[in-house]
A and B are shown apart, each in its own frame.
Chain A
Amino acid sequence: MTTLIIAEHDDHSLNEATAKTLTAAKALGAPVDILVAGLHCRAVAEQAAQLDGVAKVLLADDEELAHRRAEPVAALIVSLADGYDAIVAPATASGKNVLPRVAALLDVMQVSEITKVISPTVFERPIYAGNAIETVESHDPKRVITVRIAAFPATGTGGNAPIETVGVPTDTGLSSWISADLSTSDRPELAGARIVVSGGRALGSAEKFNEVIAPLADQLKAAIGASRAAVDAGYAGNDLQVGQTGKVIAPDLYVAVGISGAIQHLAGMKDSKIIVAINKDPDAPIFQVADYGLVDDLFSAVPAFIAALKG
């Protein structure tokens, strides 16, 4: 049978999370269709059609799917489920919101945030904030899966899949969308960035956070992240939080500045290729996972780091 991916997008462009999910979905060994659900989102379907090895793109373009509320999107996916034996979404805020609703409507258990496909029914997934890896086998007639996108490379383009329009079930009107407050940034997106510079509580204030972290991120063309402590203290926005309860990322280079390295934070970044820690406490747990550690006061070390990068 076939696998259905739920595309991650904002009605204008396809998020790279979709291409990463495609890599995981292809490992299931079946043809892969992609569902693009939204409003005025044909451009996204056209981008999805170009991903390598996609069989078909389903386009559901409807007022009710604007902002992708869980109730209508789940109803749509369930209406299409007969043709699929696996339904897969990236473990983004949107995927995590919608897919368990789909699973319950289909009376199957979801397998959350897989990091590896062993067979079409056997998967690896992290538990306990990434401190253990569980191998699970699904015995359900259909698999409903979310994919930890940091664990899979993105599939490239070069495809030319047909786009098919699908109908949308009538919404039951249980919820409505009011507003969104999105942070705007010219920096690379945290979830997909090659380099991430993260700041912690030791920065001391929102002003210092920006003063110290932003120039280093600029120099490295990096995304900015933050520990929960820094977010709770108001130094950085919630959406920048890296950790078990924030974003899980695996960039090529992760620079932790003034972050002690609590297990909840490590859960979000310990699969980074290279970890650099700058912290004045030589016993900070972050040094146990850091490839390169610099024990120094961050207020002098970071400017020195920037100066050395400029050469």
Chain B
Amino acid sequence: MKILVPVKRVVDANVKIRVKPDGTGIDFANVKMAMNPFDEISVEEALRIKEAGLATEVVVVSIGPDKAAETLRTGLAMGADRGILVKTDARIEPLAVAKLLKAVIAAEEPGLVILGKQAIDDDSNQTGQMLAALLGWPQATFASKIVLTDGGATVSREIDGGSETIALKLPAIVTTDLRLNEPRYASLPNIMKAKKKPLDETTPEALGVDVTPRLTVLGTVEPAGRTGGIKVASAAELVAKLKEAGAI
């Protein structure tokens, strides 16, 4: 069985982003980019399944500009076998990503697709569910444990108030939560080896997918800042202040 892992190039999770003063978006100048943290977890899980002898190939796919190839190389350095870049400079929404992935899946025929539960830039949490819908496949979102069984998968999911376990028929879509695993670091030799692994390129046009956005971004602003607080000297003063403010 082949596992397909979509990965996204996003602003590094530790960067404090800046909103452009003219309200047109986020300032990406000289900002460090990285693989979306949830996608690292997806790659790791796919590799572990392959290492357990339950998958034959792990293919990473990314949609974005030329530089998204770097993100694919990161996945290859972790241990993925092959990369596919769907090259576009357009703003691509989750629905369009799901349609592009559906087209890639038609050619690749994976038995399992593992995505991150959300990207830390647009915070949408949609692509995996949308892809499952378009394919007519079952979905297990927010996975904290994946066990492959004969022709199926048993997945524990993080839900409000605890967790639940569901069974899926394969092929299926799984989206990863933070608790699923601890992603490995790529070693230097593996980073070197990754440069030689195959990386195919295609485009939305070649895949026959209309990626016209359905949402128009009218503006992007900084959230209202909090007014500066005070430091109190003791617990007694803290309680007095909270009583004064009517909080307790």
Where the two chains meet, the residues of A that have a C-beta atom closer than 8 Å to any C-beta of B are 67, 69-71, 74, 92-94, 96-105, 107-113, 122, 126-140, 172-183, 191, 195, 220, 228, 232, 237-239, 244-245, 247, 252-253, 263-264, 270, 273-276, 282, 287, 289-296, 301, 304-305, 307-309
- B138, A128: Cβ atoms under 8 Å? no
Seen from chain B, the residues whose Cβ lies within 8 Å of a Cβ on chain A are: 11, 13, 16-17, 19, 26, 93-95, 98, 117-118, 120-134, 136-142, 144, 154, 157-169, 172, 177-179, 213-223, 226-227, 229-232, 234-236, 238-239, 241-242, 245, 247-248
Given A104-B134, A134-B220, A191-B160, do A238 and B179 touch, yes or no (CB 8 Å)? yes
B163 contact from A130, A181, A252, Cβ within 8 A: A181
Name the residue on B nearest A78 (C-beta). B133
- Summarize B's interface: helix, strand, loop or mixed: mixed
Contact B121 A122 (CB under 8 A): no
Which of the residues B13, B127, B167, B235 comes within 8 Å of A308, measured between beta carbons?
Answer: B235
A282 to chain B, nearest CB (A): 8
A93 lies within 8 A of B158 (CB): yes
Whether the Cβ atoms of B168 and A128 lie closer than 8 Å is no
28 contacts between A and B (CB under 8 A): A70-B132, A92-B160, A93-B158, A94-B160, A97-B139, A99-B129, A100-B126, A103-B95, A104-B130, A128-B11, A128-B26, A130-B223, A131-B222, A136-B216, A174-B136, A177-B165, A179-B164, A195-B248, A228-B178, A238-B163, A238-B179, A247-B160, A276-B238, A287-B229, A289-B226, A294-B232, A308-B238, A309-B239
Within the complex, the shortest CB–CB distance from A65 to chain B, in Å, comes to 14
Q: Which residue of B lies closest to A194 (CB)?
A: B247
- Min CB distance, A170 to chain B, in Å? 14
Contact of B162 among A109, A127, A181, A294 (CB under 8 A): A181
Indicate which residue in B16, B140, B177 contacts A131 across the interface (CB closer than 8 Å): B16
Given contacts A127-B121, A137-B216, A245-B177, contact A179 B161 (CB under 8 A): no
The CA of A295 and the CA of B234, in the complex, are separated in Å by: 9
Q: Using Cβ atoms and an 8 Å threshold, which residues of chain B touch A129?
A: 120, 123
Question: Which of B130, B160, B162, B239 is packed against the most chain A CB atoms within 10 Å?
Answer: B160
Would A93 and B160 count as touching, CB distance under 8 A? yes
Question: Which residues of B are found within 8 Å of A301, using beta-carbon distances?
Answer: 235
- The one of B94, B98, B169 that contacts A175, using a Cβ cutoff of 8 Å: B169
Shortest beta-carbon distance, A269 to chain B, in Å? 11
Q: In the complex where A103-B126, A292-B241 touch, is A109 in contact with B166 (Cβ < 8 A)? A: no
Q: Is the CB of B133 within 8 A of A74?
A: yes
Residues on B with C-beta less than 8 A from A228 are 178
Say whether A104 contacts B95, CB under 8 Å: yes
- Contact assessment for A178 and B167 in the assembled complex, using a CB-CB cutoff below 8 Å: yes
A220 to B124, CA, bound (A): 34
Query: A70 to B222, alpha carbons, bound, how many Å?
Result: 34
Task: Give Cα distance in the complex from A179 to B134, angstroms.
Answer: 27
Given contacts A128-B17, A182-B161, contact A109 B229 (CB under 8 A): no
- Chain B min CB distance to A142 (Å): 11
* A126 CB contact (under 8 Å) in B137, B223, B236: B223
Q: Report if A93-B142 is in contact (Cβ < 8 Å); known contacts: A100-B126, A105-B133, A178-B165.
A: yes
Contact between chains at A127 and B123 (CB < 8 Å): yes
Q: How far is the CA of A91 from the CA of B226 in the complex (A)?
A: 24
Least Cβ distance of A265 to chain B in Å? 12
CA distance A179 to B156 in the complex (A): 9
Question: Complex: how many Å from CA A173 to CA B166?
Answer: 12
Complex-state Cα separation, A260 to B64, whole angstroms: 34
Q: Give, as a whole number of angstroms, the nearest-CB distance from A69 to chain B.
A: 7
Q: Which residues of B contact A94 (CB under 8 A)?
A: 159-160
Bound together, the chains give a CA A264 to CA B32 distance in angstroms of 17
Sample of 18 more A-B contacts, CB < 8 Å, known A70-B139, A98-B129, A139-B214:
A96-B141, A97-B139, A97-B141, A103-B95, A104-B131, A105-B133, A109-B213, A127-B123, A140-B214, A172-B136, A175-B167, A180-B159, A180-B162, A183-B161, A220-B248, A247-B160, A274-B245, A291-B230
Known: A126-B223, A177-B164, A244-B120. A103 touches B130 (CB 8 A): yes
In the bound complex, do residue A104 and residue B125 qualify as a contact, i.e. CB atoms below 8 Å apart? no
Please tell me if the beta carbons of A133 and B222 are within 8 angstroms of each other in the complex: yes
With A131-B17, A133-B222, A191-B160 already in contact, the answer to whether A126 and B133 are too (CB < 8 A) is: no
Shortest distance between the CB of B4 and any CB in chain A (Å): 17
Contacts of B157 in A (CB 8 A): 93
Could you say which residues of chain A place their CB within 8 Å of the CB of B230? 291-293
Bound state CA distance, A134 and B93, in angstroms?
Answer: 14
Chain B residue contacts of A287, Cβ below 8 A: 229, 231
The 9 closest A-B pairs by CB, nearest first: A100-B129, A174-B138, A104-B130, A304-B235, A104-B133, A182-B162, A109-B214, A100-B126, A308-B239
A132 pairs with B17, CB closer than 8 A: yes
In Å, the complex CA distance between A205 and B160 comes to 24
Chain A nearest CB, measured from B83 CB (Å): 25
Q: Are B129 and A101 in contact (CB under 8 A)?
A: yes
**Are B235 and A305 within 8 A (Cβ)?**
yes
